[in-house]
A and B are shown apart, each in its own frame.
Chain A
Amino acid sequence: MRIIVNGNEKQVKDHTSIATLLELVGVNPEQVVAEHKGTIVSPQHYHGTFLNDGDTIELIQFVGGG
């Protein structure tokens, strides 16, 4: 299926969870905010939230420093 990650199209397998997507794109789940279809998903739901064809997901990755 085709999803939109940070504005870019990406092909992933059906039944891909947010946790799997983070692994695929190499994002540390402890350093990200994930916004799925306009709603911010709590990290404890990354494994249980599955993406559908056409879904948009924004991954806001934090980097250290402040």
Chain B
Amino acid sequence: MSRQQIQIYLNERSLTIAAGMPLRDLQQQQCPEADLLIVNGYPCSDDHILAHQDRIVMICRGIAPQPQELEALMMARHTPGVHAKVKMARVGIAGAGGLGSAIAIALARTGIGFIRIADFDVVEPSNLNRQQYFIDQIGLPKVHALRDNLQRINPLVTVDSYYGKVTTNNLKELFADIDILVEAFDRADQKAMLANTFFRTFSEKYLVAASGMAGYEPGNTIRTRKINDRFYLCGDNLTAAGPGCGLMAPRVGIAAHHQANAVLRLILGEDPATQG
């Protein structure tokens, strides 16, 4: 690169251009149809003179980028090396309520390659205080509504949905081809059933479960605990949902994101619970 040239990033791709070029010339060259120009994170007018290491994003409002470009753009904020690993990962989520819907969204945004969600329920108005659905999805099977939402967020994730109950009889078949299973049920007996069936059925996969996230106690009481090498439990292990202690978006979300982060750490070869 000569003294008269500078390096910039356009839509996350490295580009060498002449020094002193105004943004408008770059737009004419590279993306004339763009109607929103962002320089280093801020919308900018087209007379900006480009500087070395500027990060430029050009957006055509209302038009979705092509899948390949979208992938590069979405993964640009990941730590190097993370994307290749998460793209290969296969994760199952049992339950698509407050936990499962939030976990699925976090994992889809992370770029997990394959997500299978299983749930027997439909979206009800009372779910909307914490679950990641929309008013116009009331009455739809949660797995179908969630699959649609995930596709809108990241079409590069393959989502497989199973509309039905997870039982001791079908767990093996449902999750034989995944690496990590996330328990995201509501009822305590169903959580225990899933965990017990999982460990009886599989000898190598990981289980990330949750227990205790009702009410509005401090968020800091929710943590990720290691039960054994294949079993991690997120929550405060105490606060059950019941009369006088409802389930609310913040703490359910905290527990869900502990679970999603545990999944991510397992994929990246890190212990989810090393911080005590």
Question: Which residues of chain B are near A31, meaning CB under 8 Å?
Answer: 188-189, 191-192
Question: Which residues of chain B are near A19, meaning CB under 8 Å?
Answer: none
Instruction: Please tell me the size bucket of the interface on A.
Output: 10 to 19
Question: Which residues of chain A are near B238, meaning CB under 8 Å?
Answer: 63
Question: Which residues of chain A are near B120, meaning CB under 8 Å?
Answer: none
Whether the pair A32, B192 counts as a contact (CB closer than 8 A) is yes
Whether the pair A63, B195 counts as a contact (CB closer than 8 A) is no
Nearest CB of chain B from residue A57's CB, rounded to whole Å: 13
- Say whether B97 faces chain A, with CB atoms less than 8 Å apart: yes
Q: Report B177-226 residues with CB < 8 Å from chain A CB.
A: 184-189, 191-193, 195-196, 199-200, 209-214
One of B132-140, B155-163, B240-248, B267-275 contacting the partner = B240-248
- Say whether B79 faces chain A, with CB atoms less than 8 Å apart: no
Whether the pair B227, A58 counts as a contact (CB closer than 8 A) is yes
- Closest A residue, CB atoms, query B99: A66
Question: Which residues of chain A are near B95, meaning CB under 8 Å?
Answer: 66
Nearest CB of chain B from residue A8's CB, rounded to whole Å: 15
List 12 additional A-B contacts (Cβ < 8 Å) besides A30-B189, A60-B211, A60-B227.
A33-B227, A33-B231, A42-B196, A61-B237, A62-B191, A62-B192, A63-B240, A65-B213, A65-B241, A65-B247, A66-B210, A66-B252
Question: Which residues of chain B are near A1, meaning CB under 8 Å?
Answer: none
Interchain CB contact (< 8 A) of B188 among A35, A38, A58, A63:
A63
- Say whether A26 faces chain B, with CB atoms less than 8 Å apart: no
Please, what's the 1-or-0 string for A19-40, where 1 marks a CB less than 8 Å from any CB in chain B?
Answer: 0000000001011110100101
| A32–B190 CA distance with the chains assembled, in angstroms | 10
Whether the pair B196, A40 counts as a contact (CB closer than 8 A) is yes
Question: Which residues of chain B are near A43, meaning CB under 8 Å?
Answer: 192, 196
- Say whether A64 faces chain B, with CB atoms less than 8 Å apart: yes
- Closest A residue, CB atoms, query B236: A63
Nearest CB of chain B from residue A46's CB, rounded to whole Å: 10
- Closest A residue, CB atoms, query B195: A33
- Say whether B239 faces chain A, with CB atoms less than 8 Å apart: yes
| A45–B95 CA distance with the chains assembled, in angstroms | 27
Question: Which residues of chain B are near A30, meaning CB under 8 Å?
Answer: 188-189, 192-193
Whether the pair A33, B196 counts as a contact (CB closer than 8 A) is yes
Nearest CB of chain A from residue B255's CB, rounded to whole Å: 8
| A28–B192 CA distance with the chains assembled, in angstroms | 10
| A62–B210 CA distance with the chains assembled, in angstroms | 8
Whether the pair A60, B97 counts as a contact (CB closer than 8 A) is no
Question: Which residues of chain A are near B184, meaning CB under 8 Å?
Answer: 66
Nearest CB of chain A from residue B220's CB, rounded to whole Å: 18
Whether the pair A66, B186 counts as a contact (CB closer than 8 A) is yes
- Say whether B100 faces chain A, with CB atoms less than 8 Å apart: yes
| A9–B235 CA distance with the chains assembled, in angstroms | 25
Q: 14 A-B residue contacts at CB 8 Å?
A: A31-B188, A31-B192, A33-B196, A33-B231, A35-B228, A58-B227, A61-B211, A63-B214, A64-B186, A64-B187, A65-B239, A66-B100, A66-B185, A66-B247
